Amino acid sequence: MNDPTTIRRLYGRRQGHKLRAGQAALVEELLPEVAVPETGPIDAQTLFGSDRPLDFEIGFGAGEHLAAQAAAHPERGLIGCEPFLNGVVGALGHIRDCGLTNVRLHMGDALTVLERLPDASLERLYLLHPDPWPKARHAKRRMVNPGPLDRIAAKLKPGGEFRLGTDDPTYCRWAMMVMNRRRDFKWLARAPADFLTRPADWPETRYERKARRQGHEVWYFRYRRL
Ligand SMILES: C[S@@+](CC[C@H](N)C(=O)[O-])C[C@H]1O[C@@H](n2cnc3c(N)ncnc32)[C@H](O)[C@@H]1O
């Protein structure tokens, strides 16, 4: 299947409105300090200078969830990937304003960074409101597909957690179908409330807020890597 691991193409916007001077300065000055190195293997030591639990967010949008998790868990290292420049600027603003030292960013495709990590090295992986690609002929572009999931499974530690949030009914059904076929993940929901209510340690994202404002339902999936 031509899913995101094989097509190696990024769809969607790379830049929105023009950056203001302060935002451009963040990109020029702070981004190089917190950027994931461009090439080579990476681990907690190379990224943070010490061994520590690692978490990873695919498509962090404006970075509010990434920053909130980093602030809540200063002992962990957070790696966030997002190709959208204005989103990266948002995350840089949070890093500066909250004085976060445990976040590393990559402006680009998450999968190319994920594959440079050692296997079984992540405690958690977050995929929150991935681009839905609602048309059936675009289903192969969805991040929840066997190729990306194989990679996510390989990089999570046994016992690690994969969190997926969506407000898109098509994506919700698709994800449940794809995840249900996997023998390497266990869905942690015991009752509907477990996936209909946002867990307390799951900070709200911008897309989620927007979805709620528009009256959409939001679903919260937590899977344990077996
Ligand atoms: C609908 S937005 C959700 C953003 C954020 N997670 C939130 O909930 O507010 C999906 C995001 O995934 C990003 N994205 C798409 N493909 C990606 C990839 N291959 N690697 C990293 N991010 C990606 C997009 O740029 C976009 O910002």
Ligand 1 geometric centre to CA of 16 (Å): 14
What pTM does this model have? Answer: 0.95
Q: How far apart are CA 9 and CA 113, in angstroms?
A: 14
Amino acid at residue number 182: R
Q: Which residues lie with the beta carbon below 6 Å from any ligand 1 atom?
A: 4, 10, 12, 58-61, 81-84, 87, 109-111, 128-131, 205-208
pLDDT in tens, 151-203: 999 999 999 999 999 999 999 999 999 999 999 999 999 999 999 999 999 99
Ligand 1 geometric centre to CA of 57 (Å): 9
Element (H, E) at 159: strand 156-166
Residue 221 CA, distance from chain mean position: 14
Coil vs helix vs strand at 45: helix
pLDDT in tens, 70-127: 999 999 999 999 999 999 999 999 999 999 999 999 999 999 999 999 999 999 999 9
Q: What tokens does 218 get?
A: 């939001």
| Residue recorded with tokens 């420049």 | 85
| Residue recorded with tokens 């200078």 | 49
Which one, of 175, 4, 168, lies nearest residue 81 by Cα?
Answer: 4
| Residue recorded with tokens 């498509």 | 59
pLDDT band (50, 70, 90) for residue 17: confident
Give yes or no for a contact between 173 and 212, defined as CB atoms under 8 angstroms apart. no
